[in-house]
Protein backbone atom coordinates (compact mmCIF):
# COMPACT_ATOMS: atom_id res chain seq x y z
CA UNK A 1 0.00 0.00 0.00
CA UNK A 2 2.78 2.43 0.91
CA UNK A 3 4.75 1.66 -2.26
CA UNK A 4 1.96 3.05 -4.41
CA UNK A 5 1.50 6.17 -2.28
CA UNK A 6 2.95 9.43 -3.70
CA UNK A 7 6.31 10.59 -2.35
CA UNK A 8 7.64 14.11 -1.91
CA UNK A 9 10.35 13.98 -4.59
CA UNK A 10 7.97 12.73 -7.26
CA UNK A 11 4.69 14.55 -6.55
CA UNK A 12 4.26 18.28 -7.13
CA UNK A 13 0.89 18.30 -5.34
CA UNK A 14 2.28 16.51 -2.31
CA UNK A 15 5.17 18.99 -2.12
CA UNK A 16 2.77 21.94 -2.17
CA UNK A 17 0.50 20.37 0.45
CA UNK A 18 3.32 19.20 2.74
CA UNK A 19 5.29 22.43 2.89
CA UNK A 20 2.05 24.39 3.31
CA UNK A 21 0.87 22.43 6.37
CA UNK A 22 4.36 22.18 7.90
CA UNK A 23 4.45 25.96 7.95
CA UNK A 24 0.90 26.14 9.31
CA UNK A 25 2.26 24.03 12.16
CA UNK A 26 5.09 26.51 12.75
CA UNK A 27 2.83 29.54 12.51
CA UNK A 28 0.23 28.56 15.13
CA UNK A 29 2.54 28.86 18.19
CA UNK A 30 4.09 32.00 16.72
CA UNK A 31 0.70 33.67 16.27
CA UNK A 32 -0.36 32.59 19.75
CA UNK A 33 2.76 33.89 21.51
CA UNK A 34 3.73 36.94 19.44
CA UNK A 35 0.26 38.24 18.56
CA UNK A 36 -2.46 36.89 20.89
CA UNK A 37 -0.41 36.78 24.11
CA UNK A 38 1.70 39.81 23.12
CA UNK A 39 -1.39 41.99 22.58
CA UNK A 40 -3.04 40.48 25.68
CA UNK A 41 -0.09 41.63 27.81
CA UNK A 42 -0.30 45.14 26.33
CA UNK A 43 -4.03 45.18 27.10
CA UNK A 44 -3.25 44.24 30.71
CA UNK A 45 -1.16 47.39 31.08
CA UNK A 46 2.39 46.06 30.70
CA UNK A 47 4.94 48.55 29.37
CA UNK A 48 6.40 48.53 25.86
CA UNK A 49 9.72 47.43 27.36
CA UNK A 50 8.11 44.50 29.21
CA UNK A 51 6.19 43.13 26.23
CA UNK A 52 9.21 43.79 24.01
CA UNK A 53 11.35 41.68 26.33
CA UNK A 54 8.73 38.89 26.21
CA UNK A 55 8.76 38.92 22.40
CA UNK A 56 12.56 38.93 22.37
CA UNK A 57 12.75 35.92 24.71
CA UNK A 58 10.34 33.97 22.50
CA UNK A 59 12.35 34.90 19.42
CA UNK A 60 15.92 34.39 20.68
CA UNK A 61 16.11 30.62 19.89
CA UNK A 62 15.30 31.40 16.26
CA UNK A 63 18.59 33.33 16.06
CA UNK A 64 20.47 30.11 16.90
CA UNK A 65 19.48 28.40 13.66
CA UNK A 66 23.04 28.69 12.36
CA UNK A 67 23.94 26.18 15.11
CA UNK A 68 21.26 23.67 14.12
CA UNK A 69 22.00 23.83 10.40
CA UNK A 70 25.43 22.10 10.50
CA UNK A 71 24.12 19.42 12.87
CA UNK A 72 21.15 18.72 10.58
CA UNK A 73 23.43 18.51 7.54
CA UNK A 74 26.06 16.46 9.39
CA UNK A 75 23.49 13.84 10.42
CA UNK A 76 21.14 14.17 7.47
CA UNK A 77 21.03 10.49 6.47
CA UNK A 78 18.00 8.53 7.65
CA UNK A 79 16.19 5.46 6.34
CA UNK A 80 12.89 7.26 6.99
CA UNK A 81 14.02 10.14 4.74
CA UNK A 82 17.01 12.47 4.76
CA UNK A 83 16.53 14.98 7.60
CA UNK A 84 12.99 13.74 8.24
CA UNK A 85 14.07 12.28 11.58
CA UNK A 86 14.87 15.81 12.76
CA UNK A 87 11.43 17.06 11.72
CA UNK A 88 9.42 14.31 13.43
CA UNK A 89 11.47 14.33 16.65
CA UNK A 90 11.41 18.10 17.11
CA UNK A 91 7.69 18.26 16.31
CA UNK A 92 7.01 15.70 19.03
CA UNK A 93 9.10 17.51 21.64
CA UNK A 94 7.61 20.90 20.70
CA UNK A 95 4.13 19.45 21.19
CA UNK A 96 5.09 18.17 24.66
CA UNK A 97 6.46 21.59 25.60
CA UNK A 98 3.21 23.13 24.34
CA UNK A 99 1.32 20.88 26.75
CA UNK A 100 3.45 22.23 29.59
CA UNK A 101 1.85 25.64 28.97
CA UNK A 102 -1.16 24.19 30.82
CA UNK A 103 0.80 25.03 33.98
CA UNK A 104 0.06 28.71 33.30
CA UNK A 105 -3.09 30.00 35.03
CA UNK A 106 -2.33 33.75 35.04
CA UNK A 107 -0.09 34.92 32.14
CA UNK A 108 0.69 38.27 33.78
CA UNK A 109 1.52 36.90 37.24
CA UNK A 110 3.42 33.93 35.76
CA UNK A 111 5.14 35.92 33.00
CA UNK A 112 8.68 34.58 33.73
CA UNK A 113 7.50 30.94 33.67
CA UNK A 114 5.41 31.50 30.54
CA UNK A 115 8.30 33.25 28.80
CA UNK A 116 10.60 30.36 29.70
CA UNK A 117 8.22 27.74 28.32
CA UNK A 118 7.74 29.65 25.07
CA UNK A 119 11.54 29.97 24.90
CA UNK A 120 12.02 26.19 25.16
CA UNK A 121 9.26 25.61 22.60
CA UNK A 122 10.99 28.00 20.21
CA UNK A 123 14.22 26.00 20.47
CA UNK A 124 12.65 22.84 19.08
CA UNK A 125 10.40 24.72 16.65
CA UNK A 126 13.47 26.44 15.20
CA UNK A 127 15.23 23.09 14.68
CA UNK A 128 12.08 21.80 12.95
CA UNK A 129 12.05 24.90 10.74
CA UNK A 130 15.70 24.46 9.76
CA UNK A 131 15.07 20.80 8.87
CA UNK A 132 12.00 21.61 6.77
CA UNK A 133 13.84 24.37 4.90
CA UNK A 134 16.72 22.02 4.08
CA UNK A 135 14.29 19.38 2.78
CA UNK A 136 12.46 22.00 0.71
CA UNK A 137 15.66 23.16 -0.99
CA UNK A 138 16.70 19.58 -1.70
CA UNK A 139 13.45 18.22 -3.15
CA UNK A 140 12.03 21.34 -4.89
CA UNK A 141 13.14 22.06 -8.47
CA UNK A 142 14.35 25.63 -8.97
CA UNK A 143 11.44 26.37 -11.32
CA UNK A 144 8.97 25.67 -8.47
CA UNK A 145 10.71 27.55 -5.68
CA UNK A 146 8.70 30.74 -6.01
CA UNK A 147 5.40 28.88 -5.71
CA UNK A 148 6.68 26.64 -2.93
CA UNK A 149 7.95 29.65 -0.96
CA UNK A 150 4.63 31.38 -1.53
CA UNK A 151 2.77 28.36 -0.13
CA UNK A 152 5.22 28.03 2.76
CA UNK A 153 4.73 31.65 3.75
CA UNK A 154 0.99 31.31 3.17
CA UNK A 155 0.92 28.28 5.47
CA UNK A 156 2.91 30.17 8.07
CA UNK A 157 0.51 33.08 7.75
CA UNK A 158 -2.52 30.80 8.13
CA UNK A 159 -0.94 29.33 11.24
CA UNK A 160 -0.25 32.79 12.62
CA UNK A 161 -3.82 33.78 11.77
CA UNK A 162 -5.20 30.84 13.71
CA UNK A 163 -2.91 31.51 16.64
CA UNK A 164 -3.70 35.24 16.59
CA UNK A 165 -7.47 35.19 15.97
CA UNK A 166 -8.85 31.83 17.14
CA UNK A 167 -6.51 31.32 20.10
CA UNK A 168 -6.92 34.97 21.09
CA UNK A 169 -10.70 34.42 21.16
CA UNK A 170 -10.26 31.31 23.29
CA UNK A 171 -7.82 33.15 25.55
CA UNK A 172 -10.29 35.95 26.26
CA UNK A 173 -13.44 33.80 26.33
CA UNK A 174 -12.29 30.61 28.09
CA UNK A 175 -8.84 31.40 29.47
CA UNK A 176 -5.20 30.61 28.73
CA UNK A 177 -5.62 26.92 29.63
CA UNK A 178 -8.12 26.26 26.82
CA UNK A 179 -6.08 28.15 24.24
CA UNK A 180 -2.88 26.24 25.11
CA UNK A 181 -4.72 22.88 25.03
CA UNK A 182 -6.19 23.60 21.60
CA UNK A 183 -2.76 24.49 20.24
CA UNK A 184 -1.23 21.28 21.67
CA UNK A 185 -3.88 18.99 20.17
CA UNK A 186 -3.42 20.54 16.71
CA UNK A 187 0.35 20.12 16.92
CA UNK A 188 -0.12 16.46 17.89
CA UNK A 189 -2.39 15.77 14.91
CA UNK A 190 0.03 17.38 12.45
CA UNK A 191 2.98 15.48 13.96
CA UNK A 192 1.19 12.19 13.26
CA UNK A 193 0.57 13.34 9.69
CA UNK A 194 4.27 14.10 9.18
CA UNK A 195 5.20 10.57 10.26
CA UNK A 196 3.32 9.06 7.29
CA UNK A 197 4.76 11.34 4.57
CA UNK A 198 7.75 9.86 2.73
CA UNK A 199 10.41 11.87 0.91
CA UNK A 200 11.62 9.13 -1.44
CA UNK A 201 10.10 5.89 -2.71
CA UNK A 202 12.79 3.84 -0.93
CA UNK A 203 12.27 5.47 2.48
CA UNK A 204 10.85 3.39 5.31
CA UNK A 205 8.17 4.50 7.74
CA UNK A 206 9.81 2.77 10.71
CA UNK A 207 13.55 3.31 11.39
CA UNK A 208 15.89 0.34 11.76
CA UNK A 209 16.88 0.32 15.40
CA UNK A 210 20.27 -1.26 16.10
CA UNK A 211 21.20 -1.63 12.41
CA UNK A 212 24.68 -0.45 11.35
CA UNK A 213 25.10 2.04 8.54
CA UNK A 214 26.81 0.85 5.37
CA UNK A 215 29.88 2.73 4.12
CA UNK A 216 27.77 4.24 1.33
CA UNK A 217 25.13 5.43 3.79
CA UNK A 218 27.72 6.92 6.15
CA UNK A 219 29.31 8.81 3.23
CA UNK A 220 26.06 10.75 2.82
CA UNK A 221 26.83 12.55 6.10
CA UNK A 222 29.60 15.09 5.32
CA UNK A 223 32.31 15.98 7.85
CA UNK A 224 31.84 19.01 10.09
CA UNK A 225 35.14 20.47 8.88
CA UNK A 226 33.99 20.39 5.27
CA UNK A 227 30.57 21.73 6.27
CA UNK A 228 31.90 24.77 8.10
CA UNK A 229 34.54 25.52 5.45
CA UNK A 230 32.03 25.37 2.61
CA UNK A 231 29.42 27.28 4.62
CA UNK A 232 31.87 30.07 5.44
CA UNK A 233 32.88 30.55 1.80
CA UNK A 234 29.25 30.47 0.62
CA UNK A 235 27.97 32.99 3.17
CA UNK A 236 30.91 35.42 2.90
CA UNK A 237 30.85 35.55 -0.89
CA UNK A 238 30.53 39.24 -1.81
CA UNK A 239 27.26 38.94 -3.70
CA UNK A 240 25.73 36.92 -0.89
CA UNK A 241 26.73 39.48 1.74
CA UNK A 242 25.33 42.39 -0.24
CA UNK A 243 22.03 40.72 -1.07
CA UNK A 244 21.46 39.40 2.41
CA UNK A 245 22.40 42.72 4.06
CA UNK A 246 19.65 44.48 2.09
CA UNK A 247 17.10 41.77 2.88
CA UNK A 248 17.93 41.84 6.60
CA UNK A 249 17.50 45.62 6.83
CA UNK A 250 14.10 45.46 5.13
CA UNK A 251 12.93 42.80 7.59
CA UNK A 252 14.19 44.95 10.49
CA UNK A 253 12.32 48.03 9.26
CA UNK A 254 9.07 46.12 8.65
CA UNK A 255 9.20 44.46 12.07
CA UNK A 256 10.04 47.67 13.91
CA UNK A 257 7.13 49.64 12.48
CA UNK A 258 4.70 46.71 12.76
CA UNK A 259 5.30 46.31 16.49
CA UNK A 260 5.27 50.06 17.09
CA UNK A 261 1.97 50.47 15.26
CA UNK A 262 0.26 47.64 17.17
CA UNK A 263 1.43 49.13 20.47
CA UNK A 264 0.21 52.58 19.38
CA UNK A 265 -3.28 51.26 18.57
CA UNK A 266 -3.68 49.50 21.90
CA UNK A 267 -1.78 51.84 24.22
CA UNK A 268 -2.36 55.28 22.71
CA UNK A 269 -5.62 54.89 20.77
CA UNK A 270 -7.09 52.43 23.33
CA UNK A 271 -8.13 49.70 20.91
CA UNK A 272 -9.06 46.43 22.70
CA UNK A 273 -6.11 44.05 22.31
CA UNK A 274 -8.48 41.26 21.23
CA UNK A 275 -9.72 43.42 18.33
CA UNK A 276 -6.16 44.01 17.14
CA UNK A 277 -5.30 40.29 17.36
CA UNK A 278 -8.44 39.18 15.51
CA UNK A 279 -7.95 41.77 12.77
CA UNK A 280 -4.33 40.69 12.32
CA UNK A 281 -5.43 37.07 12.13
CA UNK A 282 -8.50 37.34 9.93
CA UNK A 283 -9.11 39.85 7.13
CA UNK A 284 -5.46 40.88 6.84
CA UNK A 285 -4.35 37.28 6.61
CA UNK A 286 -6.97 36.37 4.00
CA UNK A 287 -5.86 39.23 1.78
CA UNK A 288 -2.21 38.35 2.29
CA UNK A 289 -2.89 34.69 1.46
CA UNK A 290 -4.12 35.71 -1.99
CA UNK A 291 -1.07 37.92 -2.50
CA UNK A 292 1.29 35.16 -1.36
CA UNK A 293 -0.05 32.51 -3.73
CA UNK A 294 -0.15 34.98 -6.60
CA UNK A 295 3.24 36.38 -5.63
CA UNK A 296 4.80 32.92 -5.73
CA UNK A 297 3.63 32.48 -9.32
CA UNK A 298 4.87 35.96 -10.26
CA UNK A 299 8.24 35.22 -8.64
CA UNK A 300 8.69 32.12 -10.81
CA UNK A 301 7.63 34.07 -13.90
CA UNK A 302 9.45 37.43 -13.59
CA UNK A 303 12.25 36.44 -11.21
CA UNK A 304 12.70 36.87 -7.47
CA UNK A 305 15.08 39.83 -7.86
CA UNK A 306 12.65 41.99 -9.82
CA UNK A 307 9.72 41.11 -7.54
CA UNK A 308 11.89 41.93 -4.54
CA UNK A 309 12.48 45.47 -5.81
CA UNK A 310 8.77 45.94 -6.53
CA UNK A 311 7.77 44.86 -3.03
CA UNK A 312 10.45 47.02 -1.39
CA UNK A 313 9.31 50.05 -3.38
CA UNK A 314 5.69 49.49 -2.35
CA UNK A 315 6.66 48.99 1.30
CA UNK A 316 8.79 52.14 1.40
CA UNK A 317 6.06 54.27 -0.16
CA UNK A 318 3.46 52.84 2.22
CA UNK A 319 5.56 53.49 5.33
CA UNK A 320 6.29 57.07 4.34
CA UNK A 321 2.75 57.87 3.17
CA UNK A 322 0.85 56.20 5.98
CA UNK A 323 3.12 57.58 8.69
CA UNK A 324 2.72 61.09 7.27
CA UNK A 325 -1.05 60.68 7.72
CA UNK A 326 -0.73 59.81 11.41
CA UNK A 327 -3.33 62.46 12.31
CA UNK A 328 -5.95 60.23 10.64
CA UNK A 329 -5.02 57.05 12.53
CA UNK A 330 -7.72 57.60 15.14
CA UNK A 331 -10.40 56.98 12.50
CA UNK A 332 -11.40 53.32 12.70
CA UNK A 333 -11.31 52.73 8.95
CA UNK A 334 -7.86 54.27 8.52
CA UNK A 335 -6.45 52.47 11.56
CA UNK A 336 -7.82 49.14 10.35
CA UNK A 337 -6.47 49.62 6.83
CA UNK A 338 -3.06 50.46 8.23
CA UNK A 339 -3.08 47.36 10.42
CA UNK A 340 -4.04 45.08 7.52
CA UNK A 341 -1.41 46.54 5.19
CA UNK A 342 1.28 46.41 7.87
CA UNK A 343 0.38 42.77 8.41
CA UNK A 344 1.14 42.06 4.73
CA UNK A 345 4.67 43.48 4.74
CA UNK A 346 6.69 40.52 6.04
CA UNK A 347 5.00 37.67 4.12
CA UNK A 348 4.83 39.57 0.83
CA UNK A 349 8.50 40.48 1.01
CA UNK A 350 9.36 36.88 1.91
CA UNK A 351 7.86 35.56 -1.35
CA UNK A 352 10.60 37.40 -3.26
CA UNK A 353 13.42 37.33 -0.71
CA UNK A 354 13.45 33.64 0.24
CA UNK A 355 13.79 32.21 -3.31
CA UNK A 356 16.67 34.67 -3.83
CA UNK A 357 18.39 33.33 -0.70
CA UNK A 358 17.68 29.72 -1.70
CA UNK A 359 19.46 30.35 -5.01
CA UNK A 360 22.62 31.22 -3.08
CA UNK A 361 22.66 27.91 -1.21
CA UNK A 362 25.08 25.15 -2.20
CA UNK A 363 24.28 21.44 -2.22
CA UNK A 364 25.15 19.45 0.91
CA UNK A 365 25.19 22.66 2.99
CA UNK A 366 21.81 23.99 1.86
CA UNK A 367 20.37 23.38 5.32
CA UNK A 368 23.26 25.11 7.09
CA UNK A 369 23.44 28.03 4.69
CA UNK A 370 19.73 28.76 4.48
CA UNK A 371 19.25 28.43 8.24
CA UNK A 372 22.18 30.81 8.75
CA UNK A 373 20.33 33.35 6.65
CA UNK A 374 17.08 32.69 8.49
CA UNK A 375 18.80 32.90 11.88
CA UNK A 376 19.98 36.38 10.98
CA UNK A 377 16.51 37.30 9.69
CA UNK A 378 15.04 36.08 12.97
CA UNK A 379 17.68 38.07 14.84
CA UNK A 380 16.36 41.15 13.01
CA UNK A 381 12.87 40.31 14.32
CA UNK A 382 14.18 39.93 17.89
CA UNK A 383 16.17 43.15 17.51
CA UNK A 384 13.07 44.96 16.25
CA UNK A 385 11.20 43.85 19.39
CA UNK A 386 13.92 45.22 21.67
CA UNK A 387 14.43 48.39 19.63
CA UNK A 388 10.69 49.00 19.62
CA UNK A 389 10.58 48.98 23.43
CA UNK A 390 13.43 51.50 23.56
CA UNK A 391 12.37 53.63 20.59
CA UNK A 392 8.80 54.21 21.81
CA UNK A 393 10.28 55.65 24.98
CA UNK A 394 11.98 58.44 23.03
CA UNK A 395 9.83 58.88 19.91
CA UNK A 396 6.50 57.87 18.36
CA UNK A 397 5.24 55.24 15.91
CA UNK A 398 4.72 57.79 13.06
CA UNK A 399 8.33 58.98 13.33
CA UNK A 400 9.56 55.38 13.28
CA UNK A 401 7.47 54.76 10.18
CA UNK A 402 9.00 57.72 8.32
CA UNK A 403 12.53 56.64 9.28
CA UNK A 404 11.90 53.02 8.23
CA UNK A 405 10.24 54.04 4.97
CA UNK A 406 13.17 56.25 4.04
CA UNK A 407 15.64 53.43 4.73
CA UNK A 408 13.68 50.97 2.59
CA UNK A 409 13.52 53.39 -0.38
CA UNK A 410 17.27 54.00 -0.15
CA UNK A 411 17.78 50.22 -0.20
CA UNK A 412 15.69 49.99 -3.39
CA UNK A 413 18.13 52.35 -5.10
CA UNK A 414 21.11 50.37 -3.79
CA UNK A 415 19.62 47.06 -4.95
CA UNK A 416 18.85 48.49 -8.39
CA UNK A 417 22.44 49.66 -8.80
CA UNK A 418 23.81 46.31 -7.66
CA UNK A 419 21.60 44.47 -10.16
CA UNK A 420 22.96 46.65 -12.99
CA UNK A 421 26.55 46.08 -11.89
CA UNK A 422 26.04 42.31 -11.74
CA UNK A 423 27.71 40.90 -14.82
CA UNK A 424 28.42 37.37 -13.64
CA UNK A 425 25.67 34.69 -13.54
CA UNK A 426 23.96 33.95 -10.20
CA UNK A 427 25.72 31.61 -7.82
CA UNK A 428 24.62 28.11 -8.78
CA UNK A 429 23.66 25.23 -6.53
CA UNK A 430 26.31 22.54 -6.98
CA UNK A 431 27.94 19.65 -5.22
CA UNK A 432 31.45 19.80 -3.89
Give pLDDT tens digits along the chain (432 positions): 344 567 888 888 888 999 999 999 999 999 999 889 998 998 898 888 888 889 889 988 888 777 777 777 777 777 777 788 889 899 999 999 999 999 999 999 999 999 999 999 999 998 998 888 888 888 888 778 777 877 887 888 889 889 988 999 999 999 999 999 999 999 999 999 988 888 887 777 766 555 555 555 555 566 777 777 888 888 888 888 888 999 999 999 999 999 899 899 998 898 988 888 777 666 555 666 666 666 666 666 766 677 888 889 999 999 999 999 999 999 999 998 898 888 778 777 887 787 788 778 777 677 678 878 888 888 888 888 888 878 888 899 999 999 999 999 999 999 888 877 654 444 443 333
Whether 212 is in a domain gets the answer no
Whether 213 is in a domain gets the answer no
Whether 96 is in a domain gets the answer yes
How far apart, in whole angstroms, are the C-alpha atoms of residue 325 and residue 381? 26
Q: What pLDDT is attached to residue 424?
A: 44
Q: CA end-to-end span of the chain, whole Å?
A: 37
Q: Return the ∠ at Cα 189 (arms to 187 and 192), rounded to 5°.
A: 110
Domain hosting residue 338, numbered range: 12-204+222-421
Q: What pLDDT is attached to residue 222?
A: 67
Q: Smallest Cα–Cα separation from 349: which of 229, 248, 245? A: 248
Cβ neighbours for 301, distance < 8 A, ≥ 6 positions apart: 146
How far apart, in whole angstroms, are the C-alpha atoms of residue 350 and residue 199? 25
How far apart, in whole angstroms, are the C-alpha atoms of residue 254 and residue 373? 17
What secondary structure does DSSP assign to 246-312, as a single string?
Answer: HHHHHHHHHHHHHHHHHHIIIIIS---HHHHHHHHHTHHHHHHHHHHHHHHHHHHHH-HHHHHHHHH
Whether 316 is in a domain gets the answer yes
Q: Smallest Cα–Cα separation from 111: which of 178, 47, 179, 187? A: 47
How far apart, in whole angstroms, are the C-alpha atoms of residue 318 and residue 405? 7
Q: How many domains does the chain have?
A: 1
- CATH number of the domain bearing residue 189: 1.20.1250.20
Q: Smallest Cα–Cα separation from 58: which of 259, 348, 235? A: 259
How far apart, in whole angstroms, are the C-alpha atoms of residue 432 and residue 362? 8
Whether 307 is in a domain gets the answer yes
Give the relative orientation of helices 84-100 and 12-31 as an angle to the nearest 10 degrees: 30
Whether 122 is in a domain gets the answer yes
How far apart, in whole angstroms, are the C-alpha atoms of residue 394 and residue 398? 12
Whether 5 is in a domain gets the answer no
Whether 4 is in a domain gets the answer no
Q: What pLDDT is attached to residue 425?
A: 44
Chain centroid, CA 54 distance in Å: 18
> Cα separations (Å) of 115 from 58, 100, 109, 120, 225?
7, 12, 11, 9, 36
Amino acid sequence: MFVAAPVLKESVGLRYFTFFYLYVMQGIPSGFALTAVYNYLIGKGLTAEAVGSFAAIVGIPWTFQFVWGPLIDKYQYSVIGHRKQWVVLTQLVAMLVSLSLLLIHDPVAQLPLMSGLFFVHSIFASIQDASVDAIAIEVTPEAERGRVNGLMRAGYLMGISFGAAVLSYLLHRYGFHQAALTQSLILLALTVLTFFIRLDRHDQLIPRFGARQTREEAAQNPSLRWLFKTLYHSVTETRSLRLFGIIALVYLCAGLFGRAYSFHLIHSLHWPDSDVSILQGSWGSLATLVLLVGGGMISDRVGAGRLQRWVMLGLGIFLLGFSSLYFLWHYKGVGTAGLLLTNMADPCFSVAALPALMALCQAKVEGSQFTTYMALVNFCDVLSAKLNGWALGVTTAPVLGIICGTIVLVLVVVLQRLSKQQVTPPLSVHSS
